Amino acid sequence: MPPSNKRKIVVTQRFFDDETLAYLHANGCEVEIAELPPGQADGELTHDHLVGLLKDAHGWIVGHARVTRALLQALPKLQVVSRRGVGYERVDLDAARDLGKVVAVAAGGNAASVADHAIGMMIAVGRRLRESQQNMLNGNWSILLGTDLYRKTVGVVGLGRIGRGVVQRLRGFECNILVHAPRPDAAYAREAGIAYADLPTLFAQSDYLTLHAPLTDATRHLVNRDTIGKMKRTAILINTARGGLVEDAHLLAALKEGRLGGAGLDVFMSESDPSYRSVTDELLALPNVVATPHAGASTKEGLDRTNMIAARSIVAVLDGGSPPPECVVADGRTNRPQSA
């Protein structure tokens, strides 16, 4: 095993647990945890700041920073970028392959946490928990009528680990579950008691519509003025996946005009497009919106799991091996210069 000074790992995330830190140390890694300003995530760090943090790193455990070609070119020692999460739309995968880097994600680590969060948002919006508490704070203890999740029709867009976790939980509520997924699995449908449906059917029939799809050119603005127009006026939208799946300005207009029952939002377009910040602020102010700051995966248990998966991927690469196949999203080692 190479000496520790040849295996420097930089972590640009908060909440890095002692067990994962001990694992990295036991595998000959020197670990530096970046000190981020209060309220700031690594996605807000500049190119120059990141280069300064990572110039001697062989492995990087990253959150939401943009991993650009220019950044990777500035870090010739860096061998592996390991996301403490599952999305990778902010990583230039082509650049990573061209430059001989490995990019990994923490597949499965946060699935249970996000699935719990989605169900919690369904209940919170449906039962008008935010409105009720605010009324009580204002001295008004009158009862607001909400709506059950029990035996409702729920549309699930996407059937990866999180989508399947949501389906599993919804079965306890005896829901009628409609799923849209790119590759329908008939055996799973029989086992889970779901029905596959096209998107128009999901939009038209769902009492709750929950999004668990990746952000791609095909899914960007999946929820927009036209698709919202096909939904029930009482329907509730849940997005714990990616902000770009929903055109937030169109969602805001629908909610303000009473064309949708409510929304539970953990992600926003303004996370990647600052021009949408005023739209986000207006969404947050609505009484029938329950919002969290991209926190669906952020439980102690979920972060401990994703920390460890990210760390194991780094050690595997630095040891000359490979992370589990489901964790690898880019592997450019066949292109790596011999001097790297």
| Alpha helices in 35-110, H assignment, sequence order | 47-54, 69-73, 93-98
- Same domain? 118 vs 176: yes
Q: How far apart are CA 208 and CA 152, in angstroms?
A: 8
Which CATH number is 205's domain given? 3.40.50.720
Per the structure, the count of domains in the chain is 2
For the annotated catalytic residues, the residue numbers are: 242, 271, 294
Give, in order, the Cα–Cα distances in Å from 295 to each of 66, 211, 265, 320.
19, 15, 10, 34
- Same domain? 131 vs 232: yes
Range of the domain at 228: 111-291
**Res 2: pLDDT:** 43
- Same domain? 222 vs 155: yes
- Same domain? 75 vs 166: no
- Same domain? 265 vs 214: yes
pLDDT tens digits for 78-94?
A: 999 999 988 898 999 99
Does residue 340 lie in a domain region? no
Q: What is the pTM of this model?
A: 0.88
Reported as a pLDDT band with limits 50, 70 and 90, residue 40 is confident
- Same domain? 263 vs 319: no
Beta-sheet pairing, 328-331 with 102-105: antiparallel
pLDDT tens digits for 152-172?
A: 999 999 999 999 999 999 999
